Structures are given as C-alpha cells and as structure tokens.
C-alpha cells in the first residue's frame, strides 16, 4: 500500500481546459491517501463566497461520496436540461496489482538489479494510476464549480464543506431515489432518443452526431489503451535486456566488454524514456478519449431527458384531447399540458446552450492535448536519438581507433 501522494493539481490537470477561472470558488485535491483498496481524497476549497462558513477549508472524501454527489445532481429535476459532468470512475489498481503478482512469481529468475528496476517500474505505475484517479476526481469537482448553475447546488456545498462522514447521508439518498432514474437512462436512451419525431433541426443533427460519435470514441478509447499497454511492455523488456547485457559484459574479457556495457547502459536509459512516452500517450490521448466518451454519454443523457419530456408532452396532448371528448377534467388536463410544454421548452433551450458550449469545450480540449502529445513525442524522440547517437559514436569510435591505430586527442576535425 502506498503512502500519501502530494500532487500538484495544476500540472496533472490535462483533459479539461482551465476550470478554475472563477476565483470566487477554487477547488483542488492537493493530496490523497491509499489504504488497501480505499483511496481517501483531500478536497480543498478556497472561496470568497459568503454562502460558505470559512474562506479556506479541506475535507476528506471517498470515491463513493463523489458518486453520491453525481447521482443526486442527475436525479434533480431542475438540472434536467444540463449536461451533468460524468462521474469519475472507480480507482482501478488492477493492472499494477497484477504486475506485482507476476513480479513476485518471477523473482527467482531475475538478478537483484533486474528485480529492483522492475519494482521501480511497478511503483511508477502505481503512482501513475494514483495520479490519474486524483486528476479525474478533481476535474469532476472543477467542472461543477465552473458551471453557473451547478456551482450553486446545495448538495455540492455540503460535499465541499460538511466536515463529518457523508456515509449516513449517502445511505439516505439511496433509499430516497433508489437509482431508478439512472438505471432507466442507461438501458433505454438509445432507443428512446432514436424513436422520437424530431421537429428541431439542431437536435436532429445532435442526435445523429452524438449516437455515432459515442460508439466511435468508445472504440478509439479501447484501442488507444491497448496501444499504450503494448508500449509499456516494450519498455519493460528493455529492463531485462539491459540487465543481461550487463551480466555478460561483467564476465567478458574481450574487446566486446565495453560495447556490451555501453549497450546495456543505453537500453536502461531508453526504457525510462519509452516509459514516459507510453505514459504521456496515455494521459494525452487515452485519458482524453476516455473522458470525452463519458462526457458524450452525459450529453446523450440530456437528449434522453428531453426526449422523455417530449413524450410526456405528447402524452399530455392526448390526455387533453381525451378530456375534451369526455368533457371531464379539462382544466387539469390543460394545466398538465402547459406544464409539460414548459418543461420541454426549458429543456430544449437549456439543452441547446449546453450542447453548443460542450462542442466548443471538446474542440479546445482535443486541440490542447493533441498539440501537447505531438510536442512530447518529438521531445522524447530527440532525447532518445541523442542517447543512441552517443552510444553509436562510442562503439564506432572504438572500432575506428583500433583499425587506424591512431592516437589523437580529438577524433573529429
């Protein structure tokens, strides 16, 4: 189990654009603790708003608390026209845990040096998973704090401020809502959304786009993840190769000794950079895709709620016609129809706003991350090129010197 991680939030934030713009409410997760499988996040708030009791405070929170907050927001009728920021995924240490298991099994076949390096790699991976999960929980809160409506939510303030354990509140909430609405959305949205007769061109286009884009981005996320994992495997192989080359070099007494030594050294240097290439790719590409996949699901949820509201409105129309036919309960039916229409209009208006700003946000985030990824790839490749050239020179120079048997102080003019 790892100990406290102090992470600088501004560095790790990558998938969303600057979210702490509004200085009235600044949220970050400055550190987190990992005990067994439970991660405890320290949520820190700095605010000038009078609605809070203190201007600067921190509370400990678990992943389940974030989920509770997300679910209450989803269940809130008032926010039906908003894209609710996607809930952060559960911290997943499965991959490094599996690796640790394998490392334990293979310990006997490795040299002490090799084992130490593999362990270092493993610790780095734990750290990376840790950083990722902190980042994703932090971004969730920051999306809320920068939203004009959601930032004022009462449960959000409770989440930030309540200095007791939220577990009791969580249980109550579950009993109240039962997650009914959430479950319905998950299973039915595609069918319902596709089924409605759309009158608004904007929403017609959005529907088509979002449904298609979701499946594509989901696929890309999976493929990017596989690609990153292969990259990490290559970096790990370099460790073993470097270690064995070192052993061979140690036992060798011919002129090859130095060459093996240098090659071992090169592989060791390269694997560190390759590891960074893999993790940068993961952060800038895989995590980007993953985040927007979930964000698009949230947008789809909004479309679903609007579709439901439209269905309700259509039903209320039918009920009104029926009432008129029977000449009974007409005022109630009229009122109901009005309510449904209002709700639907509100959702449409709010939805349009949200979806437009969502597109802008998505484009900006992709741009930023793609640029950063390309720049990092170039930087790492240049670093590796320099290392390889150095090794090449050292090797070739030795051969040349031997061949020409020249003793000079400068090898090149």
Partner 1 sequence: VCVWGQAEPLNSNGQNSLLEEEEEEEEEGEDLFTGSLSVPLVLSLSRSLSLSLSLSLSLFPSATEEVSLDSPERDVLLSDGPSPVTPPASLISPHLPHNHLYTHCSFDEMEEEDTPDLFDISILVSDPEKVGEGMNAYMAYKVTTQTSMSLFKSPQATVRRRFSDFLGLHGKLATRYLHVGYLVPPAPEKSIVGMTKVKVGKDDSSSNEFVEKRRAALERYLMRTAKHPVLLKDPDLLTFLECSELPRALSTQALSGAGILRMVNKAADAVNKMTIKMTESDTWFEEKQQKFENLDIQLRKLHCSLDSLVCHRKELSVNTALFAKSAAMLGNSEDHTALSRALSQLAEVEEKVEQLHQDQAGADFYLLAELLADYIRLIGSVKGVFDQRVRLWQRLQDSLLLLQKKRDAEAKLHANKPEKLQQARDDIRELEGKVQQGERDFEQISKTIRKELFRFEKERVTDFKEVIIKYLESLVQTQQQLIKYWEAFLPEAKAIS
Identify residues 225-264 at the interface with partner 1 (CB under 8 A).
226-227, 229-231, 233-234, 237-238, 240-241, 244-245, 247-248, 251, 253-256, 258-260, 263
CA distances from 189 to 15, 292, 306 (A): 26, 18, 11
CA distances from 222 to 218, 245, 276, 314 (A): 6, 35, 20, 39
Does the footprint of partner 1 cover residue 412 (CB under 8 A)?
Answer: yes
Q: From the list 37, 98, 165, 219, which residue makes contact with partner 1 (rule: CB under 8 A)?
A: 219
Q: Which is nearer to partner 1, 1 or 111 (CB)?
A: 111
Q: Which of residues 257-296 bind partner 1 (CB under 8 A)?
A: 258-260, 263, 266, 270
Q: Which of residues 372-401 bind partner 1 (CB under 8 A)?
A: 374-375, 377-378, 381-382, 384-386, 388-401
- In what helix (H) or strand (E) does residue 88 lie, and over which residues does it extend? none
Q: Please, what is the minimum distance in Å from the beta carbon of residue 195 to partner 1?
A: 22
Q: Please, what is the minimum distance in Å from the beta carbon of residue 105 to partner 1?
A: 16
Q: Which is nearer to partner 1, 144 or 217 (CB)?
A: 217
Q: Which is nearer to partner 1, 57 or 213 (CB)?
A: 213
Q: Which is nearer to partner 1, 34 or 270 (CB)?
A: 270
How far apart are the C-alpha atoms of 146 and 28, rounded to whole Å? Answer: 13
Pinpoint the alpha helices (H) of 252-329: 256-281, 287-326
Q: Which is nearer to partner 1, 67 or 398 (CB)?
A: 398
Q: Please, what is the minimum distance in Å from the beta carbon of residue 120 to partner 1?
A: 18
Q: Please, what is the minimum distance in Å from the beta carbon of residue 317 to partner 1?
A: 33
How far apart are the C-alpha atoms of 372 and 13, rounded to whole Å? Answer: 13
Does the footprint of partner 1 cover residue 22 (CB under 8 A)?
Answer: no
How far apart are the C-alpha atoms of 105 and 101, rounded to whole Å? Answer: 6
Q: Which is nearer to partner 1, 155 or 242 (CB)?
A: 242
Roughly how many angstroms between the first and final C-alpha of the chain, as a whole number? Answer: 56
Q: Which is nearer to partner 1, 256 or 330 (CB)?
A: 256
Q: Please, what is the minimum distance in Å from the beta carbon of residue 94 to partner 1?
A: 19
Q: What are phi and psi of 68, to 5 degrees?
A: -55, -50
Q: Please, what is the minimum distance in Å from the beta carbon of residue 128 to partner 1?
A: 18
How far apart are the C-alpha atoms of 326 and 330, rounded to whole Å? Answer: 9
Q: Which is nearer to partner 1, 273 or 311 (CB)?
A: 273
Sheet bearing 5-6, strands edge to edge = 5-6, 25-35, 38-47, 56-62
Does the footprint of partner 1 cover residue 17 (CB under 8 A)?
Answer: no
Q: Which of residues 106-145 bind partner 1 (CB under 8 A)?
A: none
Q: Which residue stretch of 128-136, 161-169, 337-345, 366-374 sits at the interface with partner 1 (rule: CB under 8 A)?
A: 366-374
For tokens 């389940």, the residue is 64
DSSP 283: I
State the number of binding residues for partner 1 (CB under 8 A): 75
CB 93 within 8 A of CB 5: no
Does the footprint of partner 1 cover residue 193 (CB under 8 A)?
Answer: no
Q: Please, what is the minimum distance in Å from the beta carbon of residue 239 to partner 1?
A: 9
Ramachandran class of 179: left when φ > 0, alpha when ψ lies in -120 to 50, beta otherwise: left
How far apart are the C-alpha atoms of 30 and 58, rounded to whole Å? Answer: 10
How far apart are the C-alpha atoms of 384 and 241, rounded to whole Å? Answer: 17
Q: Please, what is the minimum distance in Å from the beta carbon of residue 276 to partner 1?
A: 14
* Token pair of 254 as six digits: 């011919």
Q: Which residue stretch of 151-159, 161-169, 171-179, 211-219 sits at the interface with partner 1 (rule: CB under 8 A)?
A: 211-219
Q: Which residue stretch of 5-13, 32-40, 69-77, 357-365 sits at the interface with partner 1 (rule: CB under 8 A)?
A: 357-365
Tell me, rounded to whole angstroms, the distance of Cα 181 from its chain centroid. Answer: 25
CB count, 10 Å around CB of 343? 21
């Amino acid at each position: 189990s790892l100990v406290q991680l102090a992470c600088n939030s501004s560095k790790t934030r990558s998938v969303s654009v600057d979210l702490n713009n509004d200085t009235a409410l600044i949220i970050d997760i400055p550190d987190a603790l990992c005990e067994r499988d439970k991660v405890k996040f320290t949520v820190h708030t700095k605010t000038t708003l009078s609605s809070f009791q203190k201007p600067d405070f921190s509370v400990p929170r678990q992943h389940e608390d974030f989920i509770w907050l997300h679910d209450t927001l989803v269940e809130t009728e008032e926010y039906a026209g908003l894209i609710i920021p996607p809930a952060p995924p559960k911290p997943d240490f499965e991959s490094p845990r599996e690796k640790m298991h394998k490392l334990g099994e293979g310990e006997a076949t490795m040299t002490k040096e090799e084992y130490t390096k593999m362990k270092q790699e493993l610790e780095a991976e734990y750290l990376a998973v840790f950083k990722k999960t902190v980042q994703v929980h932090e971004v969730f809160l920051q999306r809320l704090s920068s939203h004009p409506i959601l930032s004022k939510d009462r449960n959000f303030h409770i989440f930030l401020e309540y200095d007791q354990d939220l577990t009791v509140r969580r249980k109550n909430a579950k009993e109240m809502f039962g997650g009914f609405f959430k479950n319905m959305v998950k299973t039915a949205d595609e069918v319902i959304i596709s089924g409605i007769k759309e009158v608004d061109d904007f929403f017609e286009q959005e529907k088509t786009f979002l449904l298609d884009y979701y499946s594509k981005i989901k696929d890309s996320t999976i493929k990017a993840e596989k690609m990153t994992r292969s990259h990490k495997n290559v970096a790990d192989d370099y460790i073993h190769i470097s270690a064995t080359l070192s052993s061979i070099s140690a036992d060798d007494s011919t002129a090859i000794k130095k060459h093996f030594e240098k090659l071992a050294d090169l592989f060791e240097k390269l694997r560190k950079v390759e590891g960074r290439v893999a993790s940068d790719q993961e952060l800038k590409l895989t995590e980007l895709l993953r985040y927007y996949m979930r964000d698009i699901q949230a947008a789809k949820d909004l479309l679903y709620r609007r579709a439901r509201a439209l269905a309700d409105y259509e039903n209320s129309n039918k009920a009104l016609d029926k009432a008129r036919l029977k000449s009974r309960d007409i005022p109630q039916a009229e009122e109901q129809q009005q309510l449904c229409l209002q709700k639907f209009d509100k959702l449409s208006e709010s939805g349009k706003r949200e979806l437009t700003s969502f597109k802008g946000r998505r484009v900006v985030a992709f741009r930023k991350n793609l640029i950063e990824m390309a720049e990092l790839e170039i930087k790492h490749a240049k670093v590796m090129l320099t290392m390889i050239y150095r090794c090449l020179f050292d090797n070739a120079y030795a051969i040349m010197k031997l061949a020409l048997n020249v003793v000079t102080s400068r090898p090149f003019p």
